[in-house]
Amino acid sequence: MMHRVHGIFNMYEIISKKRDGNELSTDEISYFINHYVTDDIPDYQAAALLMAIYIRGLSPRELNDFTEIMLQSGDTISLSSIQNKKIDKHSTGGVGDKISFIVSPIVAACGVNVPMLSGRSLGHTGGTLDKLESIPGFNVFLNPLQFESILSIIGMVIAGQTENIVPADRKLYALRDTTATVNSIPLISASIMSKKLAIDTDGIVLDVKTGSGAFMQKIEDSIALCETMVAIGEKAGRTTIGLITDMDEPLGRAVGNSLEMIESIEALHGKGPSDVMEVTYALGAAMLIAAGVETDYKKCMNRMQKAIKSGEPLRIFRRFISAQGGDERVCDDYTLFPWSQYRAHLLATHDGYISSINAFQIGMIAIDIGAGRKKKEDKIDHSAGFVFHKKVGDPVKKDEQLVTLFTNKEESIDNALIKLEEAVHISNEKPQSRPLIHYIIDKNGKRNSPF
């Protein structure tokens, strides 16, 4: 229900109150969000308030109000006809992050339903919807009834956000994007959590990335973001578990839309790269625990590994592709995906070890070769991307292939290879390995990974 505003408000006073570090009332926050959505507050005043929030922050009470009022600005998706537990998983985004396609059918095979509303690639990070659209025929535009029906029949569904879900976020995000106010922990938390709370789930699992390819590169910021979002979720009555996972090098071996779908299908065939599977099992375990079907991380792991061996997650994934209009034969025949016309290889310049692969730089080169977009309107080439033959810590010999690049833009190849060489570092010493799962954060606080 929409919060009713009591009293007469003036944006000038609201802005100056926050500028001076004071707490806004629920009515003031409601006035701002609801009147901004209806175009009754101009962008310049909204931008000034966002900057004041960026600098002064929001108290936990203000943040809960901000999130709740954003959520009430639009429709919510009811899944009340579905008896099974429903758990959503959200990643803050990265390079090579294809975990949703692997973890969702595994968790569904363990009896927990997975409804997801996902986004598209922007900047250096990839987008779940773009990856799905590399499957011929796949449809990400579902109405709420289709969404609920596919979830109840298949056990998983992934669709795009409709215009009517949290319209306040759509408008505020566009303004933040042009006024240097995106990178604020309370504003990011309210933006993400209002959209997560708009789906009727029993719990939410958050994958907050950290490292060169993450939204938050410093671990302290990733922890603060995760703690803030977990507190919002729990306050709203949803079991919320956050994992801080590493995004310093791309996840897995494939980066790019169809290449990542192929890697995901391989993982469902039981042939996933070890880093991808480690993150998948950690997030899947958190989902099973959030659903209340297991209490112990190790038991979850056994259950998920057994599920993969049984073939059931792959069968669910095929049905999911088909239910959303896609050609499920891609699971057996990768030639049905689009393939690039050109390939090129990055070779090792000398012997040594791969010491780092800068995920942010890889994401940016992916845009140059057609796999991503700089602006929302840009078209994506689903076939473009990279396959990494070596990962951080692997020994390499001079002239060995490190990366294969796939593109339809022949003119982008030379420059991409130069930039790839700058992004992939070789050292004489074997580098120290970084943990993949840094922390788990839930209502009881932060602890080390149990894996």
Contacts with ligand URA, residue ranges (CB under 6 A): 173, 182, 187-188, 191-192
Decide the pairing of beta strands 203-210 and 87-91.
Answer: parallel
State yes or no: is 191 an active-site residue: yes
State yes or no: is 271 an active-site residue: no
Cβ-based nearer residue to ligand URA, 182 or 413: 182
Q: Give the shortest CB-214-to-ligand URA separation in angstroms.
A: 11
Cβ-based nearer residue to ligand URA, 187 or 321: 187
Decide the pairing of beta strands 424-427 and 352-357.
Answer: antiparallel
Please report, as a single letter, which amino acid is at residue 59: S
Cα 403–chain centre separation: 24
Counted residue by residue, the chain has a size of 451
Q: Residue with CB nearest ligand URA? A: 191
Choosing from 98, 124, 131, 195, the catalytic residue is 195
State yes or no: is 195 an active-site residue: yes
Please report, as a single letter, which amino acid is at residue 108: A
Q: Give the shortest CB-215-to-ligand URA separation in angstroms.
A: 6
Cβ-based nearer residue to ligand URA, 173 or 353: 173
Concatenated DSSP letters of 18-75: HHTTPPPPHHHHHHHHHHHHTT-S-HHHHHHHHHHHHHH---HHHHHHHHHHHHTTS-
Distance CA(32)–CA(26), nearest Å, equals 10
Of 36, 3, 122, which Cα lies nearest the Cα of 366? Answer: 122
Cβ-based nearer residue to ligand URA, 102 or 192: 192
Of 190, 170, 172, which Cα lies nearest the Cα of 181? Answer: 172
Cβ-based nearer residue to ligand URA, 132 or 193: 193
State yes or no: is 90 an active-site residue: yes
State yes or no: is 438 an active-site residue: no
Q: Give the shortest CB-372-to-ligand URA separation in angstroms.
A: 16
Cβ-based nearer residue to ligand URA, 112 or 122: 122
Q: Do 353 and 334 meet the contact criterion of CB atoms below 8 Å apart?
A: no
Choosing from 90, 120, 124, 253, the catalytic residue is 90
Q: Give the shortest CB-182-to-ligand URA separation in angstroms.
A: 6
Q: Give the shortest CB-65-to-ligand URA separation in angstroms.
A: 17
Cα 78–chain centre separation: 22
Distance set, CA 227 to CA 61, 89, 128, 185, 287 (Å): 15, 16, 24, 10, 17
Choosing from 97, 169, 202, 248, the catalytic residue is 169
Choosing from 25, 30, 189, 191, the catalytic residue is 191
Look at the alpha carbons of 274, 276, 282, 285 in this order and tell me if their dihedral is positive or negative.
negative
Which H or E run includes 116?
A: strand 114-118
Q: Give the shortest CB-387-to-ligand URA separation in angstroms.
A: 28
Choosing from 86, 176, 253, 319, the catalytic residue is 176
Residues involved in catalysis: 90, 169, 176, 191, 195
